Amino acid sequence: MAGQILGDRYQVERQLGTQTGRWTLLTRDLQTQERVVVKLLFVDDQVEWDDLKLFEREVEILKSLSHPSIPRYLGYFEQVLPNAKALALIQTYVEGKSLEQCLQQGRLFNEAEAKQLAKALLNILAYLHGRKPPIVHRDIKPSNILLANRQLYLVDFGSVKQVTASDSTAFTVVGTYGYMPPEQFSGRAVPPSDLYSLSATLLAMITGTHPSSLPRTGTRVDFSQIPSISPEFADWLGWLYEANLERRARSVQDALQALEHGRASIAPPPPKMTIAPVRKPAETKVTLTKEPTFLEITVPTRMGQTQLQIDQKQISLTTKTLGIAAGRPRTSPRQAIERLEYVKGAIAEDPHITLWAGEQKFELKGTPPLTKAELDWLAYELSVWLKLPVS
């Protein structure tokens, strides 16, 4: 494709990236002789509506942005092709090295460098989140951050989203596994979602390890296994990389202030209840199967059963009536599991156990209700297997 002229003006030099139905090309503007980036979305029978919506949104949002660390919108046109057409977005070209390329070359960041990177990214996010309505990038990761001429750039706004007061949670699911927070798996994104991705990026640059492979205690990163950073910085990173949205840093301003001056206070953990080792009740009909990487609990109900399964990738809850699944299983990523609750019951609520994965909850209850002995046993087994305290 090198040498081909698009839009009667942009001569292709080489391909920068490709995805299904998308090309990113480095071209030369024959009118100005400057290098520019042309992003093509092919509009044919294979194009998905979500892809078209995201592309058009990227164009409209880039038009409204003006920041020295964000590529500038230059134009838009339609390109007629032999079997279809393509939509083309033109933007300025940043000639630099991505953080992903740094990782591939074995380049790691020390704490001082990571803090400089954090401040630069937070200043860009302050601009985006400060727009009316706020703009959430939704795909911060090493390959979308460039270093050029001693300056940092945030690129690829293909997943960008404006957050308005009327938005519901039924958004398109976008992002990159390991860097996207749990709420994005269910299609929701808010400004603190970018803070989670920022922290994941910093951890990758410090350790050279993909965030999903970092050592963990329960759902939280075990910073004791990362001796290259101070306890204060580890606390800050963990605060941003908190799976529970309610416990995460709430704004860029809070994150910046804490980075520069330390966290004024840390919210105390919820009260925890310690359970001594408990044996399986002799009379129970509940079954439990566990291996190092897999756990399954089946609770009988009056007309069927409830089945909880957890493996290395996800947690799922399936309800069956007369052997037939009642709707789709409820699922969430394994890494999102953050809390194990033992609910003693109330006037209008039977005793049960709840596992929280982000904002999703997975309840173990039976009909008739599980006995105290059964709940004590299940709470103990889940707590030990997940390495989570019972609250």
Condensed to tens digits (0 to 9), the pLDDT of residues 61-76 reads 999 999 999 999 999 9
When pLDDT is averaged across residues 312-338 and rounded to a whole number, the result is 86
Q: For position 348, what pLDDT does the model report?
A: 47
Domain ranges of the chain: 5-92, 97-261, 287-386
CATH T-level topology, domain 5-92: Phosphorylase Kinase; domain 1 (3.30.200)
Q: For position 266, what pLDDT does the model report?
A: 42
Q: For position 172, what pLDDT does the model report?
A: 60
Q: Do domains 97-261 and 287-386 have the same CATH topology?
A: no
Residue 271's pLDDT band (cuts 50, 70, 90): low
Summarised one tens digit per residue, pLDDT across range 11-33 is 999 999 887 778 999 999 999 99
Please check the confidence at residue 258 and state whether its pLDDT lies above 70: yes
Summarised one tens digit per residue, pLDDT across range 181-221 is 998 887 788 999 999 999 999 999 999 999 999 998 877 89
- Higher pLDDT residue, 335 or 226? 226
Query: Could you confirm whether 139 is annotated as catalytic?
Result: yes
Summarised one tens digit per residue, pLDDT across range 137-169 is 999 999 999 999 889 999 999 888 787 655 544
- Predicted TM-score (pTM) of the model is 0.65
Name the catalytic one among 8, 44, 45, 139: 139
CATH number of 287-386: 2.30.29
How much of the chain exceeds pLDDT 70, in percent?
92
The pLDDT mean for the chain works out to 88
Please check the confidence at residue 333 and state whether its pLDDT lies above 50: yes
CATH superfamily of this structure's domain 97-261 = Transferase(Phosphotransferase) domain 1 (1.10.510.10)
Q: For position 324, what pLDDT does the model report?
A: 82
SS3 of the chain:
CCCCEECCCEEEEEEEEEECCEEEEEEEECCCCCEEEEEEEEECCCCCHHHHHHHHHHHHHHHHCCCCCCCCEEEEEEEECCCCEEEEEEEECCCCEEHHHHHHCCCCCCHHHHHHHHHHHHHHHHHHHCCCCCEECCCCCHHHEEEECCEEEECCCCCCEECCCCCCCCCCCCCCCCCCCHHHHCCCCCHHHHHHHHHHHHHHHHHCCCHHHCCEECCEECHHHCCCCCHHHHHHHHHHCCCCHHHCCCCHHHHHHHHHHCCCCCCCCCCCECCCCCCCCCCCCCEEEEECCEEEEEEECCCEEEEEEECCCEEEEEEEECCEECCCCEEEEHHHEEEEEEECCECCECCEEEEEECCEEEEECCCCCCCHHHHHHHHHHHHHHHCCCEC
How much of the chain exceeds pLDDT 90, in percent?
58
